[in-house]
Structure 1
Amino acid sequence: MPRRTPFEVEQRVLQLRVQLRQGQDRIGPAVGVPARTVGAILRRHGVPRLSECDPLTGRAIRASKQTAVRYERARPGELVHIDVKKLGRIPDGGGWRAHGRAASDTAAHKRARIGFDYVHSMIDDHSRLAYSEIHPDEKGATCAGFLTRAAAYFATHGITRIERVMTDNHFSYRLSNDFQSVLRWLGAKHVLIRPHCPWQNGKVERLNRTLQTEWAYRQIFTSNTARADALAPFIEHYNAHRHHTAINGTPLSRVSPT
């Protein structure tokens, strides 16, 4: 087949798919071939879709449930999604990703109580503008403080009015007087997803997955502080520079189209 993509290019495409775990719209420009050519290469080599793969390992798994009806709000601030992702803290010197699985089986490691970081995130439904913070818990007062600062961050980037806030049914959202007080201060309606249906809050769940694969686990951190310090720069990259396929641009390009 004289017009078939050269072998070296195909191998580069397959290599980037493993390294980046991204789709044809991101791999194509990196290799210098059309996105549809990347798709054809991946299909020819039997590479599963990203939706069928584990976001961390890239191995094929069963596809998760999806919302039956896809939707997108008409304007920024009409609906924002909030969620918390729990991540194991990194011991000083690095964890098993730095030293291998055997390091996690030592007696000293098992005695150590490293604990967890709670990554609080908010994302706008229309523009996909995102904001995240790391906290030691997910109590009501913590969630309320996060919502206050997230709303202020959104305001500085052009979203001055938040009309609805969607969360799961965790008591820190549903029963917290502090959180409800911030909602009243914002003049926002609280929207709860159906119990045991996290895909209804899918946009922030997708953000959580992106944070894992492109921030928390993309490189090896040797301390928890180093990983925490890398979060804010990644959020700025996500909002200002990272191309978002669903909106064909960056979140800031939708907040401020000019």
Structure 2
Amino acid sequence: MLHANAALTPRQRLRLAQLVVEDDWPKIRAAEFFGVAWKTADRWAERYRILGKAGMVDRSSRPHSSPARTDPVTTKRIVSLRLRKRWGAVRLAAETGVAASTAGAVLRRCGINRLSRLERRGRDVVRYEHASPGDLLHADVKKLGNIPAGGGWRFLGREQGKANRIADGGRARSRNHGPLMRHGFIHVVLDDHSRLAYAEIHDDELGVTATAVLRRAVAWFADRGVTARRVLTDNGGCYRSRNGTAACGELGITPKRTRPYRPQTNGKVERFNRTMTSEWAFVEMFTSEAARRAAFPAWLHTYNHHRPHTGIGGHPPISRLTNLSGQYT
């Protein structure tokens, strides 16, 4: 392979070989003329005699045989488990009886070492979108650990984050105990057509709380000219409660449920949760949970009114609510 300081390019190799083979130059003289070793001149001259001009290019450094290479049966089993189970190299190694480095090498050689390369492999992406705002609302709850006073482990490291958590009233991680500390629950209601989002942060995910959020969300959307008709949720207890069912009946909304263990059905709100955590919750170091929550309304406004959304052609969600005054403020 050529490098920055290579003495001979393929063209120079050809000139050297032709001088030796066709013009009968001594190999030592040709080597001195091109500033290379005698063995180098001899190698290119011999290749020219055998292969001609085609022999002047670099050859692959790959060996002709690899007797220690993983056998096809084991390779096939590793690939099959990776595709079906999504296991990593360590788990695959334990299952197939090879070293973890061997399993990792097989995954890299087959181009499946990253899980992102397995998503929708060989299948068309099926997308849907309801025709009008309010035809379907997606509701979900995102659970986040509260930030202790002084900052959390993501920015300060495990040791300092643990110390801050304990000092703030949390507990150290233990197999025999419950949650480390209190959590925050972001209740989200998102419109399928426009991707416009309504969200509130609470300290629980009880049915009473989720129902109250839904009522306020429906009123919030109504103020913007959107009439809610259906709402899609997962099978969480807060959505299956009597309060939730009664509220949907009073609001004239048809409740829908996702298939169990199929979060893709509620994919739009799941994608919003991912955007929310990456662009708000973990985008900067907050020294307290109060500081992070105080920054949430501004981010949510930016998401709804200013942030371009790739799912709707690079426009902000509010732009899909037509004839709404002040929608770009």
Give the letter aligned to residue 243 of structure 1.
P
- Listed as ranges, the matches of 1:47-62 within 5 Å are 61-62=114-115
Say whether the 8 Å CA contact 1:81–1:166 is kept in structure 2.
yes
Contact 2:149 2:289 in 1 (8 A): yes
- Give ranges in structure 1 of 5+ residues lacking alignment: 1-59
Change beyond 3 A, Cα 1:178–1:61: farther
1:123-162 matched pairs, under 5 angstroms: 123-159=190-226, 161-162=227-228
> In the alignment, what sits opposite 1:76?
133
1:108 matched to 2:175? The reply is no
1:79–1:163 Cα contact (<8 Å) kept = yes
- Structure 1 Cα separation of the partners of residues 119 and 190 of structure 2: 21
Higher RCO (CA < 8 A, seq sep 6+): 1
Instruction: Give 1:97's aligned amino acid.
Output: R
2:144, 2:303 → 1: CA distance? 20
Q: Secondary structure at the match of 2:256?
A: strand
Which of 117, 120, 126 aligns to 2:187? It is 120
Matched, 1:199 2:264: yes
Give the Cα separation in 2 of the matches to 1:137 and 1:91: 18
How many pairs does the alignment contain? 197
SS in 2 for 1:93: coil
Aligned to 1:182, the other structure's residue is in SS state helix
The 1:65/1:139 distance shift into structure 2, 3 A limit, reads farther
Q: Which position in structure 2 is the counterpart of 1:190?
A: 255
Q: Is the Cα contact below 8 Å between 2:171 and 2:181 reproduced in 1?
A: no
Q: How much is the aligned-residue C-alpha RMSD, in angstroms?
A: 2.2
Cα offset, 1:257, TM superposition = 5.7
1:87 and 1:250, CA in 2 relative to 1: closer, same or farther beyond 3 A? same
Matched residue type, 2:286: F
Q: Which has the higher Rg, Structure 1 or Structure 2?
A: 2
Q: Which aligned segments of 4 or more residues in structure 1 are displaced greater than 4 angstroms?
A: 64-68
Residue 116 of structure 1 aligns with an amino acid whose one-letter code is: H
Alpha-carbon contact 1:98-1:222 (below 8 Å) kept: no
**Structure 2: 5+ residue runs without aligned partners?**
1-112, 173-179, 325-329
Identity of aligned residues (%): 46
Q: TM-score, normalised by structure 2?
A: 0.56
Matched with 2:230 is 164
CA distance in 2: counterparts of 1:244 and 1:98, whole angstroms: 28
What is the Cα deviation at residue 118 of structure 1? 0.5
